Amino acid sequence: MRAWRLIGLLNTLTGVRLSHFQALVVFALVISIAFGFLGRRRPMERVKYILWTLLLFILIGVGIGWAMYPFSH
Partner 1 sequence: MSGEEGLPVTPAEEASPVPPSQETRREAMAFVVAAASWLVPGLGHALLKMWGRAVICFLTVGVLVWVGAGMRGNLFTSRGNDAFDSLGYLADLGTGGFYWVAKSLETNGPDVSRADGDYGTRFLATAGVFNLLAALHAYEVARGRKV
**Smallest separation, CB 10 to partner 1 (Å):** 7
Tell which positions 12-71 bind partner 1, by CB under 8 A.
14-18, 20, 23, 26-27, 30-31, 33-34, 37-38, 41
Q: At what angle do helices 20-39 and 43-68 cross, to 10 degrees?
A: 150
**Smallest separation, CB 65 to partner 1 (Å):** 12
**Alpha helix stretches (DSSP H) within 1-73:** 2-14, 20-39, 43-68
Q: How far apart are the first and last CA of the chain?
A: 50
- Give the span between the Cα atoms of 8 and 55, in whole angstroms: 38
**Smallest separation, CB 35 to partner 1 (Å):** 9
Binding site for partner 1 (CB under 8 A): 7, 10-11, 14-18, 20, 23, 26-27, 30-31, 33-34, 37-38, 41
